[in-house]
Structure 1
Amino acid sequence: MKVIEPNTEEIKYLQAKKRVEALKGYYWHVAIYLIINTLTSWKNILRGLENGESIIEIFYDYKVSFSWIVWGIILIIHTIRVFGFNNSFTKNWEDRKIKEYMNKSS
């Protein structure tokens, strides 16, 4: 059986590429979060003003704040995942699974 030696430059490249993809996905997530929530909030604010509601009443309406809060929590989790602590469990799990499947195919 032939043993494949890992190419360290290739490994570094693949790790960097994976990191860039994670950052790209995060930045898209932030952009979409801001665009969608801003548009829906403006729509709800304008509709509330047309109905004679005050700005305070509009902001206390769950329709304006709900998506900001819930989606914001999801975005915080995504932020921690991309920039936060190095989640060694996930990384170790991925490495173990890759090795497991490589050994099965041999």
Structure 2
Amino acid sequence: MTDKNHLEGERYYHAQKRVKELREFYEHLTVFVLVNPIVIVVNIMTSPGYLWFLWCLMGWGMAIVLHGLKVFNLPPFFNKKWEERKIREILEKESNQKNWE
């Protein structure tokens, strides 16, 4: 019974962590969508000759994309397969070092 409770607790913890990650991403996206129109208006009203808001949109937009890739497990680099491969690599390296001692 204890193993079953432990597994359920672990599953609940992972689900709770996943929901938190999703919520944080959607909060980040919401702030991006709500703040950038204000930034655009301020730029147009104060210095219409130079559209600096584009730099804000691009920088923050890249951050949103990277955040989304991470949250939805779509990163082109440093994903779970990479982590598992590195763990095996490190364990093998340590194992080989111990064999030489």
Pairwise same-fold verdict (TM > 0.5):
yes
TM-score of the pair, normalised by structure 2: 0.66
Q: Which residue in the other structure is 1:31 paired with?
A: 30
1:84 corresponds to 2:83: no
Percent of aligned pairs sharing the same letter: 23
Distance 1:64 1:74 in 2: 15
Q: Which residue in the other structure is 1:98 paired with?
A: none
Moved over 2 A (4+): 84-87
What RMSD, in angstroms, separates the aligned Cα atoms of the two structures?
2.6
Q: Which residue in the other structure is 2:7 paired with?
A: 8
Distance 1:84 1:42 in 2: 35
Distance 2:72 2:37 in 1: 25
**Structure 1: runs of 5 or more not aligned:** 94-106
Aligned residues: 79
Q: Which residue in the other structure is 1:72 paired with?
A: 61
